[in-house]
Amino acid sequence: MHEAEKKLNRVVLKPKREKPLLNSHMWIFSGAVASLPEFNDGSILPVYSSDEKLLGSAYFNKRSSIIGRMVAFGDVDPIVAIKANLAHAVKCRSQLFAKEHCNGYRLINGEGDSLPGLVVDRYDDVLVMQIGTLGMEKLKPLLIEWFVEHLTPLAIYEKSNLPTRKEEGLPPSATLLYGADVSVVDIIESGLKFSVDIPKGQKTGFFFDQREMRKIVQAKAHGKRVLNCFSYTGGFSIYALAGGASHVDSVDISESAIALAEQNAAINGFGSSQCSFYSADVFEFLRDRKLNYDLVILDPPAFAKKQKDVVAACRGYKEINRLAMKNMPKGSLLLTCSCSFHVDSDLFQKVVFQAAVEAGRTVRIIGHHTLACDHPINICHPEGEYLKSLLLYLQ
């Protein structure tokens, strides 16, 4: 390509708007762009500062307020950088987990692994891919080829149902991309067994991001009566039982999730004398009974999927925490969580404080969220942090 053509085929930022990229931040907002070439949405383009310095390469989509997402910095070829970042992510996980003790984990964590728009979870020999952007969607053939060559998976599924896809001009997608049609996969996490229904499960099928908090529950559960709300397929419940809980009740509105939670208890050797399962609305369950539990877990799905949902989400978080605190006994523990990106840690703590005031309870924070190591946050891109947890002692 001649120099004149290169100049035509580049994105140029406005003056003094290059600093985030010089600090390896991965997002370019539309307001930072001075000029764009003619291009098809999803294309990878070189990015220059206003003084003609090459900053790197990003894929672009004019539909999105985050118009560009960096895939390479400096003069590194973007495809070479993408493949290198895939290899770095896989190597990192191989150092974190021993297969005989844990063969289910997050393999690729978006910006945390310098691969914006891409999440991949590993379920033993099955990979589940979640793509949130048009630029990464166009790279899907390359991704599949790389995973097949380097990991030889039994199957690769796609479960892309993120809200960002609509803004990117993409429909939801759930399909088998490669290999055998294996819908239910058995995995091991921290030596415990779980069956994961990939096509029917939420997100990619299992929530690896709460692994460390499940371990904390396991450590605190001995001899306690435990209530796991929004239990999904019983992750916290199984860990509590493994920790010696005297009894665990699991509540989720999904009958299929409750059925799988009951199955997960059984395959780990826990019977009906140790655990009970309820398909019910958690708000109604908390409202309708006295909570005679020593440890209660509130781990709801995201109440705020968009910025405009924050006010309603905070009402929801306050209500479930108020109901729990109001009806829990003195000296009990409450683990309360939020996975809503748009509700940050400070706001979440204020909401929980308001719930405590309205419930008339004196509450102490005795623990905060511990990040799961397979969900790395790029230190240059702190927006990757979304999950909050507070471990509370109710006086």
| Chain length of the chain | 395
Say if CB 333 and CB 392 are below 8 A apart. Answer: yes
Secondary structure class of 363 (helix, strand, coil): strand
Element (H, E) at 312: helix 310-327
Give the pLDDT confidence score for residue 7 in this predicted structure: 62
d(CA 225, CA 217): 12
Whether 339 sits among the annotated catalytic residues: the reply is yes
Give the mean pLDDT per block of 10 residues along the chain (395 residues): 62 96 96 96 97 97 96 98 98 89 95 97 97 97 98 97 89 95 93 94 92 97 98 97 98 96 97 96 91 96 84 94 96 96 93 97 97 95 93 96
Give the pLDDT confidence score for residue 309 in this predicted structure: 83
Domain ranges of the chain: 3-76, 79-183, 207-394
Q: Catalytic: which of 229, 275, 337, 339? A: 339
Pairing of strands 33-35, 54-60: unpaired
Give the pLDDT confidence score for residue 169 in this predicted structure: 94
pTM: 0.93
Element (H, E) at 226: strand 225-229
What is the third-level CATH fold of 207-394? Rossmann fold (3.40.50)
Give the pLDDT confidence score for residue 81 in this predicted structure: 98
Say if CB 151 and CB 127 are below 8 A apart. Answer: yes
DSSP annotation of 301 reads: P
Sequential DSSP letters for 84-103: HHHHHHHHHHHHH--TTT--
**Residue carrying the six token digits 């009951």:** 262
Name the CATH code of domain 3-76 (choices 3.40.50.300, 2.60.40.10, 3.65.10.10, 2.30.130.10).
2.30.130.10
CA angle, 65 then 340 then 113, to 5°: 65
Sequential DSSP letters for 128-184: EEEE-SHHHHHTHHHHHHHHHHHH--SEEEEEE--THHHHTT---EEEEEEE----E
Identical fold between 3-76 and 79-183: no
Element (H, E) at 108: strand 104-109
CATH number of 79-183: 3.30.750.80
Give the pLDDT confidence score for residue 253 in this predicted structure: 96
Element (H, E) at 83: helix 78-96
